[in-house]
Structure 1
């Protein structure tokens, strides 16, 4: 007997507004400090895994594969909460980040490249 693989809850899936390639932006934020850690991409399956496993799972556009944050680096993201934005095209995942969030080794993906602001 074949078993149907689990799918994202249709009540959630119906609310998503995906890019043409089926993705939504996923912003990871440190749950206790509010620090913005990184931006990744999720499809329905990555979101389902994130909601059901307690670990952030993303879709790698370059590798065309799923990856649970920390599987190779040990820098795991333990999910505390997930919220869909008002437009349904992004999720905010509040996490407890273990180690660096960025693949470069920086704490966040936004540490290394601040842009200059014009003087007001």
Structure 2
């Protein structure tokens, strides 16, 4: 296995649907998230805003099942191809990249956040 190079303890990750190649999200992994992703086959990330490990789908049930992991030429960025359960974005869209810079919605809404993220 090629060892990634973590910058300041983090590794940028681009996530794509393994069939359509749609970009679903961008996140970061720390060493623990990387190791858990490799060992479980479920994507784990590090939340910079919360300062903690995050298993994608733990709250929503919208897991990312890892099909393939690719590393870039400098070993400092990952591309993960996943089978996405329902949607990747916490706003209810399949992809976090659901709108243009002008604000036009171009993505598919797959769930209502209020139905998923109940306090």
TM-score category of the 2 structures, normalised to the smaller one: 0.7 to 0.9
Q: CA deviation at 1:18?
A: 2.3
C-alpha distance in 2, partners of 1:18/1:52? Answer: 18
Partner of 2:112: none
Query: Among residues 1, 14, 18, which one is paired with 1:31 in the alignment?
Result: 18
Please say which structure displays the higher CA radius of gyration.
1
Number of corresponding residues: 102
Partner of 2:4: 16
Looking at structure 1, the residues matched to 4 and 86 of structure 2 have their Cα atoms a distance apart, in angstroms, of 30
Q: How does 1:93-104 map to 2 (within 5 A)?
A: 93-104=80-91
In the alignment, the residues of structure 2 paired with residue 46 and residue 85 of structure 1 have an alpha-carbon distance, to the nearest angstrom, of: 18
**Structure 1 residue 70 displacement after superposition:** 0.4
1:19, CA displacement in angstroms?
2.4
In structure 1, the gaps of 5 or more residues are 1-10
Q: Which runs of 5+ in 2 are unaligned?
A: 103-119
Large movers: runs of 4+ above 3 Å? none
Tell me how far 1:64 sits from its aligned partner: 1.0
TM-score computed with the length of structure 2 as normaliser: 0.80
Query: What's the offset of the Cα at 1:96?
Result: 0.1
